[in-house]
Amino acid sequence: MRRLILRNSQSPGDIVMLTAAVRDLHRTYPGDFITDVRTPCPDLWRTNPYIRRLSEQAPAVEIIDCHYPLIHESNQGPWHFLHGFIDFLNRKLSLAIRPTAFRGDIHLSMDEKDRALLPAPLASGGMPYWIVVAGGKTDFTIKWWSPDRYQRVVDHFRDRLIFVQVGESGHVHPALHGVIDLRGRTSLRDLVRVVYHAAGVLTPVSLLMHLAAAVDYPLGDAGSRPCVVVAGGREPPSWEAYATHQFLHTVGMLPCCSSGGCWKSRTRPLGDGATQDASGSLCVDVVGDLPRCMDMIRPEHVIERIEWYLEGATVRPRQRAPHVISANAFPDTARPLVPVFRRAWSFEARP
């Protein structure tokens, strides 16, 4: 059996794609490999059945720095991000791995699937919720949509849906009102658990989009977890979109993304010395504070897609339609509702 240690130091969304490659390696070549990983996100590998601890000093261990150069062909070929690491490993190891599932591979223990261990009020059964991501990292501000537009979506569903806002500390996630505020209050593993119980996800192209597909959906009779992605024109949908998601993009609609994603980084320079401020990395068509491709996506477009999911839910067998939240669930004040956290969670509540 070949012993592999796969290394990658990229962001969590990239690591979700690597989990898929490890799964597909073992499914294609069962019993032929022992695999371990070195990534910044050990929480994404917890309880993974394909990972065994290997020492880098052990004999016959192959250490591989994993990349996905296939992304450079994403505007020309029919490839999805899931093919990226697989293609790299195939070339590096002379293999013929094939994707076996259209999703990443995140595993939870039975204890982690216990909804009672979620922070109140999420722990209550009969309170389905959607996750919302209203910001992102400063390296790719071109992915950001307007917080005011996210707020209009939240307000539209105020009497029907509960929204849980998430976001990593150190990134930019403007506060929304009338939501449960978990920004900066979850570990990555906590976030996986919140996704597991979520009825849906609203996000730009981000980690949450990949988790929406990769994390099991407990409402199994309903199929895949609903997810609406505000994507614009940066990435070709063939590279990023999942079959069951509503991926709102403008590729093919504007000169700057007429034949594929523009792959630009920022809307405007931030003056922080980062390479993303280089002129070749900046959006070429800005409207106000948004790239034109993101400005073209209106709150009404997002609302319509969520309504489609809710309408479809009413005809699915044995699914609880996620619109049972009382109008009194949130105050009309400007401050979000702050949940009471359980000790099982690895964070502390902020004042």
Angle at 205 between CA 201 and CA 206, to 5 degrees: 75
pLDDT in tens, 80-106: 999 999 999 999 999 999 999 999 999
The answer on pLDDT for 329 being more than 50 is no
Predicted local distance difference test score (pLDDT) of residue 110: 94
- Long-range contacts of range 272-280, CB-CB < 8 Å, 24 or more positions apart? 272/138, 274/138, 274/139, 276/139, 276/140
| Mean pLDDT of the 299-324 span | 73
Q: Are 131 and 164 in contact (CB under 8 A)?
A: yes
What's the rounded Cα separation, in Å, for the pair 247 and 209?
10
User: Residue 314: pLDDT band by 50, 70, 90 thresholds?
Assistant: low
The answer on pLDDT for 343 being more than 60 is no
What is the torsional sign of CA 23, 25, 31, 34? negative
Predicted local distance difference test score (pLDDT) of residue 116: 84
| Mean pLDDT of the 196-220 span | 94
Query: Which token pair is 167?
Result: 């976001």
The answer on pLDDT for 317 being more than 90 is no
Query: Which token pair is 8?
Result: 């990658």
Predicted local distance difference test score (pLDDT) of residue 57: 93
The answer on pLDDT for 323 being more than 60 is no
Distances in Å between the Cα of 3 and the Cα atoms of 21, 88, 201, 285 are 15, 17, 37, 49
The answer on pLDDT for 336 being more than 90 is no
Predicted local distance difference test score (pLDDT) of residue 333: 34
Predicted local distance difference test score (pLDDT) of residue 324: 38
Q: Higher pLDDT residue, 128 or 19?
A: 19
User: Residue 219: pLDDT band by 50, 70, 90 thresholds?
Assistant: confident
User: Residue 332: pLDDT band by 50, 70, 90 thresholds?
Assistant: very low
Predicted local distance difference test score (pLDDT) of residue 338: 36
Q: Are 282 and 264 in contact (CB under 8 A)?
A: yes
| Mean pLDDT of the 42-62 span | 96
Predicted local distance difference test score (pLDDT) of residue 123: 81
The answer on pLDDT for 209 being more than 90 is yes
Going by the DSSP 8-state scheme, the letter that residue 208 receives in this structure is: H
Distances in Å between the Cα of 330 and the Cα atoms of 134, 327, 339 are 19, 7, 11
The answer on pLDDT for 330 being more than 90 is no
Q: Which of 15-19, 109-113, 118-122, 201-205 has the lowest mean pLDDT?
A: 118-122
pLDDT in tens, 143-152: 999 999 999 9
| Mean pLDDT of the 21-49 span | 98
User: Residue 340: pLDDT band by 50, 70, 90 thresholds?
Assistant: very low
pLDDT in tens, 6-27: 999 999 999 999 999 999 999 9
User: Residue 212: pLDDT band by 50, 70, 90 thresholds?
Assistant: very high
Distances in Å between the Cα of 223 and the Cα atoms of 39, 116, 199, 317 are 30, 23, 11, 11
Mean pLDDT of the chain: 89
| Mean pLDDT of the 254-274 span | 97
Q: What single letter denotes the amino acid at residue 163?
A: F
Predicted local distance difference test score (pLDDT) of residue 221: 57
Which of 214, 212, 248 is CA-nearest to residue 229? 248
The answer on pLDDT for 268 being more than 70 is yes
Predicted local distance difference test score (pLDDT) of residue 220: 55
What's the rounded Cα separation, in Å, for the pair 190 and 75?
35
